[in-house]
Amino acid sequence: MTYFELKRGARWLLVLVLLLLGLGREAAQAQTVIGLDSAEARSLRRHPRLRQSDREVEEQRALKRGSFSPANPDLLFSAPTGELWAPGVVQTIDFPNVYRRQRQVAEAGISLAERNREVSRATVLRDTRLAYLSLQFAEAQVRQLTYQDSLYQALRVATERLFAAGEITSLQRISTEAEARLVSVQLQQATADLRAAQHRLGLLLGQPTAAFTTSTDLRRSGPELVQTGGALLSGLPTEDSTALVRSPTLAAATQNVALSQSGISLVRARRTPALTVGYQNQAFENSALKYRFQFGVSVPVWFWTYRSQLQAATARSEAAGYQLQAQRLELSILYEQALADTRKFSASLGYYEQTGVPQSGAIISQSQRLFRAGEISYLVLIQSLNQAFTIQNTYLTTIRDYRQALIELNYLRGE
């Protein structure tokens, strides 16, 4: 084979590689395709946090059934005549207002447990959506880097022939080899991230060993995301206090204030006297009616005890109020940050959809055409491909970041 035949063969080998890009496939493996709706439904059924919340609601409902809780009766033995011991019973009963307040506290406790369950549900949904998004992103990265790795590995092989033919320099050969190794390492990292994302989603769904795969390609969701994200941003209220009105976290903090305030009312109700009823032997041996009822009043004379309880309940109520203010402030800060991120990534995604991605496709196709025609050098081809792949990788990252911001924004809004 002559020198010119070797050069021509090496160039056409490289052209053939460029024409067959993207045809390589990963080895098939048993995987379970799952949609986002199915993942959310499974996590809501199996997540232990929701089961814990259900048990806490049951606990508060059981406490409500015992809100009418009079003191235990006192069984007494007395000898009114000094000759014979006789049994008797004394029961102390609070005024009805006390039991009514206890019932109100129990109802407030049930409401708080239910609000906390809504917080748990929202948190589980957010974690599931983020885990699903991470798996989508990892899958898209693996596909992208597999495409790049196939190209650069083939370019590395073709480079050896081009170098042997004297068509490229040693620097170009080394640069291609370095690029190929870098992409190969990035593919290994992305594959490890994919396995971790599968395991993380599997843990949330109660199947940690299952090899889940998403039903939607993250890259193809970009155009739809531009529309849905834009519609959401245009419909958001201008004030964060209005946007957070349905926040489950804020609702739970508000209910905690109501619970603490009902505790103050209960302490005040317990400061009132209680009624004492007894049935005892109060007669002599030959008396016609030995057992008689007795009535009395339990007087709350230990005032310092009730005063300290009231101070504690008041302090607890004030602490709950400050907690609500702190929660509202924290949620407002998080909401403003999520809103700013959503707007930022919305603008970035709009650029990539309208300009960046079409330009990257044009760069790849035109650089191949010009290289085949001999109008650009091998080094310009590599630089053009790197630029196009950088745009496409950044496009994937923008979609992921945009979706993360939307998930956080909807979580804060109680959606």
Q: Which DSSP string do the residues of 16-28 spell out, in sequence order? A: HHHHTTT---PPP
> Which of 188, 192, 202 has the alpha carbon at shortest distance from 32?
202
Q: What is the pLDDT of residues 271-330, one digit of tens each?
A: 888 888 887 766 666 666 667 777 777 777 777 777 888 889 899 999 999 999 999 999
- Looking at per-residue confidence, does 76 or 185 come out higher? 185
pLDDT of res. 76 = 78
Q: What is the pLDDT of residues 133-176, one digit of tens each?
A: 999 999 999 999 998 888 888 878 877 887 788 777 787 788 88
Q: What is the pLDDT of residues 369-387, one digit of tens each?
A: 887 777 877 778 888 888 8
pLDDT band at 23 (very low <50, low <70, confident <90, very high): very low
What does residue 24 show for φ and ψ, rounded to 5 degrees?
Answer: -70, 140
CB 60 within 8 A of CB 105: no
**Cα 297 from Cα 293, distance rounded (Å):** 14
Measure Cα distances from 140 to 330, 334, 402 in Å: 34, 29, 15
pLDDT of res. 252 = 93
Q: Which DSSP string do the residues of 51-115 spell out, in sequence order? A: HHHHHHHHHHHHHHHT---PPPPEEEEE-TTSS--EEEEEEEE--HHHHHHHHHHHHHHHHHHHH
DSSP state of 220: G
pLDDT at 67 over 60: yes
Treating both helix axes as pointing N-terminal to C-terminal, what angle do 248-270 and 303-351 enclose, rounded to 10 degrees? 170
pLDDT of res. 172 = 76
**Cα 98 from Cα 101, distance rounded (Å):** 5
**Cα 194 from Cα 140, distance rounded (Å):** 9
pLDDT at 13 over 80: no
**Cα 81 from Cα 61, distance rounded (Å):** 49
CATH 3.40.50.1000 assigned to 3-413: no
